[in-house]
Structure 1
Amino acid sequence: MGKLKRKEYERLLEPMQLELAAMARWVQHSGQRLLVLFEGRDTAGKGGAIQDVARHLNPRQCRVVALPRPTDRESTQWYFQRHVAHLPAAGEIVLMDRSWYNRAGVEKVMGYCTDAQYQAFLEQAPVFERLLVDDGILLFKYWLCVDQEQQEKRFAERREDPLKGWKLSPVDLRSRLEYGAYTQAREAMLEATHTRHAPWTLVDFNDQKLGRLTLIRDLLDRLPETRLDEAPIELPPLPGRPKKEKYGVVKPLPPYPLA
């Protein structure tokens, strides 16, 4: 079976995006807090999946969080501290493009944390997530899987595409040489943090379009019934005839007078 074509993908995605919009209205109406973590190797497709989940949602309600490397001050805080500030409030959806699981992946493999910090994370993460779930946050954790052969193809595409060059950081270039180490780190992470209250869901993203459809379908199916009976929006008639704008041609305005 060949990879899913764009036209067919959009046809299959459209009804799910209507469901996502209904889900967002339900989250807002019910005051729920929805948190979705997107994790995976470099090039797995986290950014594209997040974009398609959020594409038709209100950005004031649905926030995408992609934290940069911690500052010197943040690196001395409790590890989970800077993530807590980005958790959803009532009626909000937060999509995390990588999360606290950086410590179990890139930080572990690249030596950015000590063994003691790594072991402490594996012990604390399930406890931290239990606190979130017990407080009522709806937490979903997705790991996007990609084979090394497919990863190499995507690295090559980024190298050749000037619009994607920013995605090839020095850490990314080093990570492609550590495929096996990342696999070992992932397996240790899953063993320590795949819990009843916050389970992992692994999704095949060798075909990114099919992976996005699978992920979105799973997310929607694991939520309770989200449809709300809403009255149709009425547009009252305008007082008088609609006004026409005079500015039909785009042209620069004269220089703004200086005081």
Structure 2
Amino acid sequence: MTTTSKQKPGRARTGEPASVRTLERGLLILVALKEFGRAPLGQLARQVGLSSSTAYRLLETLRQQGFVEWDGPSGVYSVGLRAYQVGLAFTERSGLIHSAHPEMEALVGRLNETVNLAVLHAPEAIYVHQVEGRQLVRMFARQGDSAPLHASGVGKALLAWRPDADLLVGEEPFVSYTPHTQTTLAALVEELAQVRDLGYSIDDQERELGVRCVAVPVRDHTRAVVAALSVSAPTARLPTDQIPEVASQLVRAAAQISLRLGWR
């Protein structure tokens, strides 16, 4: 359920200061490090499309500020503690994870499968919290990992109630991950209408063969969909005839989370 996308350095725009371009490139390196976990200089430079010397200068600046760590013996870089501290500000600001965690724990207790919470960051959904199931074989995505909007349960739950959904998924044809992936806007729009009718979305082996996901929207005090709550499992443990019951439990859990966020 993880994705790794090629990062592109920001192109110079008319009148844009060099300092802005430098900042943009430094942020791209941080994103690449998040995806790799640990990586040497050359790999990071290729990923963001920079020369090794430029990437090194950016990494050294980030290291001095605590956003990046460097392991001398192995020669690899990793995300630093300061980046983690900055990331925590999201959860403290929104209260979303604090509101969702008890219901996610309860769902895992009942279903014994991994439960995820994701938010929209177009053109992707980002997993911001997770409670793992207790099965020996379980499906999970690391916190901070992304999922394609058109080929994930959380992505479709986040899109279905948005009037600008067609603007958020990118250009056609959409990336095809498996033979089950929807790759056209027309097919996606039709499925999003079904999601609204049912109240939940399904990723039926669209991102990864053998994996099924059910997701529902979470709303805040403005009634807007601010997150998606999902259960992921191997298809053998989540057959299609069990989807309505799993979705029903997710809907109830999402309603409780939404109430804590001020939804009425």
State TM-score, norm by structure 1: 0.24
Question: Where is the strand percentage greater, Structure 1 or Structure 2?
Answer: 2
State TM-score, norm by structure 2: 0.24
